[in-house]
Structure 1
């Protein structure tokens, strides 16, 4: 499962597509403007293309949402598809930003929990649910993110949560980045784990069971004293969810002013 990066498209073209519903109407990329009433109306919209790409990726994996595969799914020629989305790079950015925008995070002025930690929890729950709905998202690096409305809405929300804590502006931004890094990374790993199980047909527990001989044949207690200590103290009871909660709670404890 190879990784793809967002943010690889041509900047001006990508921005115009990402913000297509937030600015003055534009014709699909690559199509000349038509006079009112002239010519045949387009059978698709950019929204149609993006939604179909997401559905294909959800059902068959990210690779299935190629330009050729998407054209076939929509019943149009590949060259016709390029008049709506000029390349696979722009398509990926549009798909990623669309699913980022699915998170039900209160916009400015909308009601939200009173406690700031509950507001962060809302971000955590929505982000993890998003990754579970779209497992392919775990295969996309957003080191250079799609700078669209979905991405900015998440950023605006976290900054607004932290603004009233009495932190400096630099601390507020740093705390928001820390939360994003922790939550998004953990959510991506959860989704990747489930994706591997789905694509291989083997559970993670079954994979480890096949390698059980490691402990009986190869494990050296003298070279791994810390692991051995935890084992004898019955310390390996925690689940991945326990580890996630522990890390997030400690992170928020560190952010909260004292």
Structure 2
């Protein structure tokens, strides 16, 4: 066969039959979130899109996002690989489903909190909730690095955040920007936090970094850094560090558009 005429294949090299109605512009949110997730023909299978998504989430939680392949997810639910493509035609679609699936945890028993009217305090509470959520699912920051189409669970959480921001007087577009800014901050911070925790697990590396910074501070070429390192230290507990950074972000937000 001419390599140039081969059809698309998944991340494991298996041939994939694409939906002929799918456009080249990527995932269609209407079809993903508003259409029936069940296959249109054939007998009803013993598994569902919910079960497939939950299996993918469990795999990512245990082994990381790179471990999520259609073949391994199929094995977890006891399905054939090709049958999964009726529910998620590719890994990108599966990631959309995974992100929205875990977002359901944020509003599982209703709104996370009732807005108090103190929007800065409420917004900080939202951020702390997001941080805990991402730490439970360490693959989320990477999954959120590319634009995602908000599913029903994500929209329920967004609805809560917009209610939190009602007292600001911001217009709708500005509120959405604040939500995006906050989520990006939390996602980036958690990604850094996880990387730092992994690095700190190596005592040799931590000691080497301390020696390196001490040498740089003493070389006379970095007086500002030397002064910063010589200043009284701040609590290094992850929660305290996150709180300080979050305070600088939220307290600096202007309530005007």
| TM-score normalized with structure 1 length | 0.74
Find out whether 1:16 has 2:19 as its counterpart. no
Paired position in structure 1 for 2:234: 237
- In structure 2, relative to structure 1, the CA distance for the partners of 1:169 and 1:10 (3 Å cut) is closer
Q: Residue 184 of structure 1: CA displacement? A: 3.0
Q: Residue 136 of structure 1: CA displacement? A: 1.4
Distance 1:224 1:113 in 2: 46
The CA RMSD measured in Å over matched residues stands at 3.1
Q: Residue 143 of structure 1: CA displacement? A: 3.3
Q: What are the ranges of 5 or more consecutive residues in structure 1 without an aligned counterpart?
A: 1-7, 21-25, 35-39
Pick from 109, 126, 131 the counterpart of residue 128 of structure 1. Answer: 131
Give the aligned length.
231
Pick from 179, 182, 185 the counterpart of residue 176 of structure 1. Answer: 179
Report the secondary structure of 2:139's partner residue: helix
| TM-score normalized with structure 2 length | 0.74
Contact 1:27–1:33 (CA under 8 A) maintained in structure 2: no
Contact 2:141–2:187 (CA under 8 A) maintained in structure 1: no
Paired position in structure 2 for 1:58: 61
Contact 2:216–2:222 (CA under 8 A) maintained in structure 1: no
Distance 1:178 1:214 in 2: 34
Which whole-Å deviations, capped at 9, do the CAs of 1:69-128 have from their partners, x for residues lacking one? 1111222211122222222121111111212232138867x9604132332133112211
Which whole-Å deviations, capped at 9, do the CAs of 1:18-69 have from their partners, x for residues lacking one? 345xxxxx252xx3346xxxxx331110000000100011112212220011
- In structure 2, relative to structure 1, the CA distance for the partners of 1:149 and 1:161 (3 Å cut) is same
- In structure 2, relative to structure 1, the CA distance for the partners of 1:173 and 1:217 (3 Å cut) is closer
Which structure is richer in relative contact order (CA contacts within 8 A, separation 6 or more)?
A: 1
Any residues of structure 2 matched to 1:75-114 within 5 Å, and which? 75-104=78-107, 112-114=114-116
Any residues of structure 2 matched to 1:15-34 within 5 Å, and which? 15-19=30-34, 26=36, 28=38, 31-33=39-41
Distance 1:128 1:161 in 2: 17
Q: What are the ranges of 5 or more consecutive residues in structure 2 without an aligned counterpart?
A: 1-23
Contact 1:96–1:137 (CA under 8 A) maintained in structure 2: yes
Distance 2:196 2:211 in 1: 23
Distance 2:244 2:212 in 1: 28
- In structure 2, relative to structure 1, the CA distance for the partners of 1:105 and 1:180 (3 Å cut) is farther
Paired position in structure 1 for 2:251: 253
Contact 1:162–1:176 (CA under 8 A) maintained in structure 2: no
Q: Residue 231 of structure 1: CA displacement? A: 2.9
Distance 1:218 1:164 in 2: 48
Distance 1:223 1:101 in 2: 51
